[in-house]
Structure 1
């Protein structure tokens, strides 16, 4: 497996009828490809973009990828749900974020102005606006936001993907409406017990994001390569225990839950600062 940074993803998967006719045609063309093949295609394309002779990390005219989640029912059957990669939009947003934190000449080396201008020319304004309003994928580098763990439980569907060198990733998935209910309950508890916590704002924002999608969809947390360093992972349980302790006024319990979380994830966050 090619070595890539520790990036984790939170993805919304929707049923086929939630998409436009053009999107459904794209999905139908790719629905038979298995998930591992899709991930390998995505990694391969990323590697080709960053190793171009001329510095230009943006995707050009390649067809967008679609991920398929086969979610199991209690009867043992599976239902397919779909998540478009929306790479052109996400790469544009990432470039804008970098441009606010870097300055020339470093910005010019990583994202030449000519490449940024060409990317703007390639984007269709209507398609870009639609994708921006309904962005199916969120990403986090060098760790998973604790707010994401609020959305999942230890008994949710889990898929462990192993490779030759250990765990490649772990994917947790749950019905979107269930995740929204969990976020709302946690936010309501924090609003009373700890209204000053940044986690409350994070949960409010992420709930609004989830509510833009078809409520019959599914939510997936894809750990990425960080899974090999933390799995088996008790973070969802620890976050839940911390919020419940705060709601009950148990500061000792809340502090203990936070210490467990911090101890588990500090080694990964330190890698972001390693030279």
Structure 2
């Protein structure tokens, strides 16, 4: 079945993702076989299928948002090389593991009565029985994807520059999404420099803690991996987006003790995302 239409994705909240794509050799023999078996499935088909299945889970007669299939799927990123060719990198969806982690986050953020309506005890128990405990532990220790709904954490913009490789996802004249990618080693260097700058000039900023956590996470992967910021359906709300540039200018101003310049860069950044936050509240 083809899932090329964006209709189903439009029915879900705008979500951005930060993903790590690794070279094929980084995966187990079992996963490499799965990747080989999915070589004819395009990224558009994969993401359309995920959107379809997400809506199907949310609209089940009995409340049960957990995925029932444990079959792993992989996104592929063809990253350009200096010689003009591309190299394939892969990112596992890890949907089952991410669903469990999301449920745990909800468990600590809402009242029990509401949680039981969204995630009935029977559904949680059934999902726990389906989860492969060894695979779950491995995925948690090596989680390839982070998500954010109705916004993008500012720390993610530190990892990327406006001249990095980008891909616009379009349908006729409509912008459906934007993906920006860069070598992980380069992104990690940017994050470490930004964290050091903040530690010296603005240690009270929450961004420092965010960057510290990002550095720890990225350090789990080999530096020959690729990091990708996927705006998803947030892209039409903000693109063209100068957030990476504004954040970098703010950090450079801090390093030069130019507090006026840093404040101006932050105002540009914050005002750009204010509209998105207002839309989130309106929804």
Q: 1:34-65, CA deviations, whole angstroms, 9 ceiling, x for partnerless residues?
A: 21111111111111111111110001125222
1:29 to 34, 37, 44: 37
User: Which residue of 162, 173, 194 corresponds with 2:170?
Assistant: 162
Partner of 2:152: 144
Q: State how 1:1-275 maps to structure 2 within 5 Å.
A: 1=6, 2=8, 3=10, 4-163=12-171, 166-275=174-283
In the TM superposition, what is the alpha-carbon distance from 1:126 to its structure 2 partner?
Answer: 1.0
Misfit runs of 4+, over 4 Å? none
Q: Distance in 2 between matches of 1:43 and 1:133?
A: 26
CA–CA distance in structure 2, aligned partners of residues 128 and 165 of structure 1: 41
Quote the offset at 1:164 in angstroms. Answer: 5.1
Q: Secondary structure at the match of 1:9?
A: strand
Gaps in structure 1 of 5+ consecutive residues: none
TM-score (norm 1): 0.97
TM-score by length of 2: 0.95
- 1:272, 1:97 → 2: CA distance? 19
Q: Structure 2: which 5+ runs fail to align?
A: 1-5
Distance 1:208 1:255 in 2: 28
| Structure-2 change in CA distance of 1:45 and 1:62 (3 Å) | farther
Q: In the aligned structure 1, how far is the partner of 2:18 from the partner of 2:97? A: 16
CA shift digits 1:89-145 (9 cap, x unpaired)? 000000111111122322111111100111111111111100000000000111000
**Distance in 2 of aligned mates of 1:120 and 1:54:** 17
> Considering only aligned residues, what root-mean-square deviation do their CA atoms show, in Å?
1.1
Distance of 2:49 and 2:222 partners within structure 1: 27
How many residues in Structure 1 have an aligned counterpart in Structure 2?
Answer: 275
Distance 2:41 2:122 in 1: 35
Distance in 2 between residues matched to 1:179 and 1:203, nearest whole Å: 11
The alpha carbon displacement at 1:272 in A equals 2.1
2:112 counterpart SS class: coil
Tell me how far apart the structure 2 counterparts of residues 262 and 167 of structure 1 sit (CA, whole Å).
Answer: 23
- More displaced, 222-231 or 59-68? 59-68
The one-character-per-residue Cα deviations of 1:219-245 (angstroms, maximum 9, x if unpaired) are 000001110011111000000000111
